Amino acid sequence: MVEEGIINKEEAILRVEPNQLNQLLHRRIDPQAKVEVIAKGLPASPGAAYGKVVFTADEAEELGKKGESVILVRTETTPDDIHGMVEAQGVLTSRGGMTSHAAVVARGMGKACVAGCSVLNINIKKENISVNDLVIKKDEFITIDGGTGEVFLGKVPTIEPKMSKEFETLLSWANEIKRLGVYANADTPEDAKKARELGAEGIGLTRTEHMFMEQDRLPIVQKMIMADNKESRDEALEKLLPVQKGDFLGILEAMEGLPVIIRLLDPPLHEFLPNLEDTLIEVNTLKLKNADPDELAKKEKLLEIIQSLHEMNPMLGLRGCRLGLLYPEIYEMQIEAIIEAAIELTKKGIKVKPEIMIPLVSHVNEFKPICKKARKIANEKIKSAGVKLEYKVGTMIELPRAALTADKIAEDAEFFSFGTNDLTQTTFGISRDDAEGKFLLKYVDDKILEENPFEVLDREGVGKLVKLGTELGRETNPNLEVGICGEHGGEPQSVEFCHSVGLNYVSCSPFRVPIARLAAAQAVLKEKK
Ligand code: PEP
Ligand code: MG
C-alpha cells in the first residue's frame, strides 16, 4: 500500500502489531488444524514444535542428532540441560516462569518453549506425563505452541516461517524512525551473528556463566570452586582464562564495530556443582555399599562443599558482585580475558568495543572497587600492548537500592543496564522462579494485576525505579548510557515505556530484535500523535 501511495510509511509501521512478526520468524500451528488442548502453561518462547517426548537432555541430544524430532520435557531445566535443548525441537517444563532458565535459553535459541505447565505431572522414573486422566509415555508425540502456552497430543500440522522482502522493508523503515537502540542478549558467536542478521546494533548482555557451564569447562570451574587455597584456585583460573578469551574473541569479532556488553559472573557458585540432594543420596549409597574409601572421601568432600555453599535464598545470596568481592580472582580472570581478546582483535585491525558490566550492585561501595580494578587491569594491558582501544565499565541496576542511589553509582559508571528480571523480583518481593506457578497468574486472572510483571514491565512500580534511576544517574553523569537487558527488552509495551523514559537502548533475545525494532518505531509515532 505504501508503494501504491495509499498509506505512508508511518501508517504502515503502526498497522503491524509487533508480536505478529513472530509468525514470520517461527513455525506456527496451522490454523486449519483440528486441535485438542491437553494442558496450558506459560507462553515462554514463541513457535510451534512437535516431537517425541523425552525426559533427559542426553536422550534429547542422542535422538536429535539422529534427526528425530523431540520435545524435551523437564520439571525445570538447568544449565546441565543445554546440550539437550540444542537438539530438541521444543522444551516443556512444569515449573518456572517467564524468566526461568528454560524460557530464557529457549528464547535465545529461537526455540519453542512452554514453561511452568503446572497441570503436568511428570514422572521421570515411570517415564510418563499425566494430565488429569491422560497418560503420555516416553516416545509418544506431543506438540507445543510456545506463543500461546498450549500443549497438544500427537503431531499437529505446522506452517514453516517465511521471511519476505516486505519484512526487511518494513523493518528498514522502523530503523529510519526509531530513536532507541536495539541490542541483543547473546552468549555465543553464533547467537551474536544471528542477532546481527536480525538487526541488533550491539550486544546488551553476554551472560558469562553460560560459558562456564559448557561440558568441557565445567570440571575446571568445579575445581576452581572446590579449591581450598588460593594457589589451586589460581591454577584452575589460569586454565579458564584462555577458554574465556576464546569465547570473547568470537563474540567481539562477530560484532565488529558495535558495542558488546559482557557481564562478569553472576549466579551463586553452587549452580556449578551437582545437586545437594543427589549428592547426599550418592554418599549414603556409597556408605551402604562399603565402597572404596577414597571414592567415598571424595564424594563426602564434594558434599561438604555443596552444603557450605547452600543458602536458603540463593537469589538474594552470594552472587553477582558479592562473588567478585569475596573471590576477586574470578573477576580478575574475566576482565583479563575480555581485554586480552579485545587487544588481539584490535591488533588485527578489527574494531571492537568491549564493555564490562558488574552485576547485582546494591551499594556504590560494591561497585567502586571492582570498577577501579577493571580499569587498572585494562589500562595496564592496553598500555603494554601499545594499542588504541576504548572500553567502558558499567553496572546492572537490578536491585531497588541501586536505582534509588543511582546518582552515587553513576559517578563512576559509564553505563547502566536495568536488569528488569531481578528488579521485578526484588521490587515486588516475588520469586522469579516460583511466583508464576503459585499465585501470580491467578493474580492476573483475578485482575489483581493487569499483566504478569515478569512479562510486561510494571510501569507503576518497577518502571518508576527505572525512570528515577535513569534521572538520578544522569544528574551526576550526563553522558551515562542507559538501557535494559531483562526479558522486558523485547516486549512491545515495555519497549514503548523504555522509549518514553529516555533510555538509550533495549536489549533482548536475538529473535525478538525485529519485534523491538518495530515497537521502538511505533513508540516514536505514538508519541508524535
Ligand atoms: C535481569 O535480572 O534482568 C538480568 C538480565 O539478569 P539475569 O536474568 O541473568 O538475572
Ligand atoms: Mg539479574
Nearest one of 181, 13, 5 to 526, comparing CA atoms = 13
| pLDDT at position 450 | 97
Question: Which cell numbers hold the place of 520?
Answer: 521502538
Read off the pLDDT of each residue in 97-114 and give the average, rounded to a whole number: 94
DSSP letter assigned to residue 130: E
Map out the domains of the chain with their CATH numbers. 27-159 (3.50.30.10), 178-268+325-528 (3.20.20.60), 272-286+295-309 (no CATH)
Nearest one of 378, 400, 401 to 389, comparing CA atoms = 378
Q: What's the mean pLDDT when you consider all of the chain?
A: 95
Dihedral over alpha carbons 265, 266, 267, 273 (to 10 degrees): 10
Ligand 1, atom nearest to 421 Cα: 3
Q: How far is the CA of 422 from the centre of ligand 1 (A)?
A: 6
| pLDDT at position 348 | 98
Catalytic residue among 101, 210, 270, 488: 101
Which residues are 151's β-sheet partners?
39, 144
pLDDT at 80 > cutoff 90: no
Are 522 and 14 contacting, i.e. CB atoms less than 8 angstroms apart?
yes
Q: Is the CB of 209 under 6 A from ligand 1?
A: no
Please name the residues in contact with 8: beta carbons below 8 A apart, sequence gap of 6 or more: 2
Are 296 and 283 contacting, i.e. CB atoms less than 8 angstroms apart?
yes
Please name the residues in contact with 406: beta carbons below 8 A apart, sequence gap of 6 or more: 397, 416, 468, 469, 470, 472, 473
Ligand 1, atom nearest to 420 Cα: 3
Dump pLDDT digits (tens) for 202-237: 999 999 988 888 878 889 999 999 888 888 999 999
**Annotated catalytic, 101?**
yes
Nearest one of 74, 79, 149, 140 to 108, comparing CA atoms = 79
Mutate to test the pocket of ligand 1, among 396, 484, 488 (most ligand atoms within 8 A of CB): 396
Which pTM does this prediction carry?
0.90
Helix (H, G, I), strand (E, B) or coil at 357: strand
Question: Which cell numbers hold the place of 251?
Answer: 563474540
Looking at 98-112, 207-221, 361-375, 423-437, which range is the least confident one?
207-221
pLDDT at 124 > cutoff 90: no
Q: Is the CB of 477 under 6 A from ligand 1?
A: no
Question: β-strands 121-123, 128-131: how paired?
Answer: antiparallel
Q: Is the CB of 398 under 6 A from ligand 1?
A: yes
Contacts 24+ apart (CB under 8 A), 409-413: 409/361, 409/364, 409/367, 409/473, 410/472, 410/473, 410/474, 410/475, 410/476, 410/477, 410/480, 411/364, 411/476, 411/477, 412/364, 412/367, 412/368, 412/371, 412/372, 413/367, 413/371, 413/473, 413/477, 413/480
What is each CA distance from 72 to 107, 200, 273, in whole angstroms? 15, 29, 22
Read off the pLDDT of each residue in 158-162 and give the average, rounded to a whole number: 89
Dump pLDDT digits (tens) for 275-284: 899 999 999 9
Q: Is the CB of 207 under 6 A from ligand 1?
A: yes
Helix (H, G, I), strand (E, B) or coil at 42: strand
Band (164; pLDDT cuts 50, 70, 90): confident
Instruction: Please give the share of the chain, as a percent, with pLDDT higher than 70.
Output: 100
| pLDDT at position 15 | 97
